[in-house]
Structure 1
Amino acid sequence: MEGYLGIILIVVVVALVAAGGLFLLFRPGRTVAPPAEPPTLPQEKEETEPRPAGAGEESEGAATATVPPPPAPAVKPAPEIEVPPPSAGRMVRLRSRLARSQSALGRGLLELLSRDRLDDEVWDEIEESLISADVGVAPTQAMVEELRTKVKVLGSRTPAEVRGLLREQLLVQVNPDLDRSLHIAKHGERPAVVLVVGVNGTGKTTTTGKLARSLVGDGKQVVLGAADTFRAAAADQLQTWGDRVGAEVVRGPEGGDPASVAFDATAKGIEQKADVVIVDTAGRLHTKTGLMDELGKVKRVIEKKATVDEVLLVLDATTGQNGMRQAQVFAEVVNITGIALTKLDGTAKGGIVISVQRELGVPVKLAGLGEGPDDLAPFDPEVFVDAILGED
């Protein structure tokens, strides 16, 4: 009996042990570990650069393909250097443009002076015509007084005599004896320096570029200073002018110190043994004291390296007597030595030439007679007067 009980006890224990194992194996929440992944073979690194010939070949002789080198970046071609014509005789060649705008004044004056009877009313008309052309009150009165005297002496007048009288008086007022040459002679190894000043919108930067072009045409080596740091467009414009004729342009950061740019341009001119350095300054209102003081600083800084030989004031001929007020203030700050009168072909008020010279004692040295690159000419008083009067 005891033997059977022992056997039964053993069977129960074995059954319990087996049931516990199954429970552990299949209990809720148990996760089965995933089968191990087969190992992956390392991949070859893709070649990004060509290898030398014969390198990396397999022992069996199979050649691997090489990646071709990237194409070389496109090189921007240098701008073609232009050879400008010399400045001599330019105003003669451009005389017809001047005549188209000024001849109405000349025809009117000739018609009035050719009348059989020159009474006070006619002389008043002559005076009004001259003042309307911006000749100025004082020069007009001087001209009319001289003309009245000469007419009385002559008595009867032929058209040729009338034209001769008027030409003589206009030339006297324009004053052909003034020194209109640009002072651009080198000082030993140091270049001459030309400072270009004026108010906004008169064409300073364009005049600077055209002047550089004219001087290159005369055989001069020129360095340009883009001291108008307030407008990036001005520096870019000057760069274009310089590139066209092979003149180096010295620039500074936008909003930088214009005096520093002027100093660096002068230093570059000395280093390159250039003939002329032309410094373009920012346009400024003649009524703004701070900006005018800054212009004086630019001139003083340049003079630490070289002599400022020319200070050219750029005036717009179409502004008339307002240009006179501008000229007077600029002359007080930087000692103007000459006038560059732009847009002279676009106005019938060429008398500004007479009034500005009379008021300042400064000659008009350059005349802008169009928008082309070679339309800046040395001012010639006789060509100017003949253009006003038209052909004989």
Structure 2
Amino acid sequence: MAAAPDPAARSPWEAWRTSHAPPPVDLAPLTGRELDVWFRGGEPEADACEALLVWAGRARGALDVAIAEGLDALRQGERLAELGYHLDDYAREVLDLRKRAAQRETLDEALALAGELLPGATRAERLEAIAQEFAGAYAGEADPDQARVLGAAVRQLRPGDDARAAALEEETERWAALPAIPDVAAPDVRFYETATAHDVDARLRELAVQRAEWEDLIGYCALAVRKSQLHRLRMRAWGKLAAPLALRIAAVLAAAVQAVRDRTGKPLPLGTCLAVLAQHFLDTWKGVVKRNRSRSRKVRDRDAGHCQVPGCSHRAVDSHHVLFRSQGGGDELDNQIGLCRFHHLRCIHGGYLRVVGRAPDGLRWFLGGRPCSGPRAAAAPWEADRAHG
């Protein structure tokens, strides 16, 4: 039978201060019977798992602080241009931080299209247009009643909500049932102004590997807690993400979300419902918008509207001449590629990034004089050992 991890045996918060490494825990699979014995048969084992989970979460948070400082250091000067990355692409592809979901991409595309249809509209107003399109086609009520109950996902803030939330937070601090876990200080990592982009990059990759190790430990403990249903036995609180919206917009959004659920017959999550609304908006309006078919537009349409730099996830807003016109390059489509503003102006015209060849399939990229094929994720510890072995 798998043994419950005992964080107190190694005084993990003391070990953290010297090694910044998680404790070795046997992550053997747990059967249903083992979980039942572990959590329902002995309180000390459950307490140990909870303590380890809380402590690991704080340790990961400490690493997040150090990583955030490193990402901020990358934003200074031309370090990002030297590496050839957008900050979000670097964080996602190299450090493996919060990968973007396809649902979010669909919503972003729909919001961008709504911006073309409604010049000057705020993000909330564009969201309203997306919801209104679906609600008008499928909702039972053409004009949602603002006074009705908005539902669990969308509700009106009432006087006293802030005070009640503060009181609940204060109560949480007094929960005697939770073990007292010492705070974990962030690693003493310094990113000096004289550090090169590659110095910052190397340190961030090390921190990312350490963070991934903590993620494994958190995932193991969280899965054990979930399978054991311990959270239902001990916890009664759950959190929600709040985003302020005008009541008019919230009512339309709630009606559209409910229409999605009614049509599918399933209690879909809010994020999935938003993706459905966005896709419906795109299907309805994408072919209607009349765009200026300039040469730049033709180039970007050929490139599917995305920046052609390997690994870039941003939309193309410029058309770049592979062979500069000042060097004899022409306006032919195979001498132009779609680029985002960052890679176009800061990286290529800044002298950090270079492209040669013919578009769209015969291009070769060079970053700092070396061939470039896109972001490379931080290596796992065993991969690093093999590389040096």
**TM-score band, normalised by shorter chain:** under 0.3
TM-score (norm: length of structure 1): 0.19
More helix as a share of residues: 2
More strand as a share of residues: 1
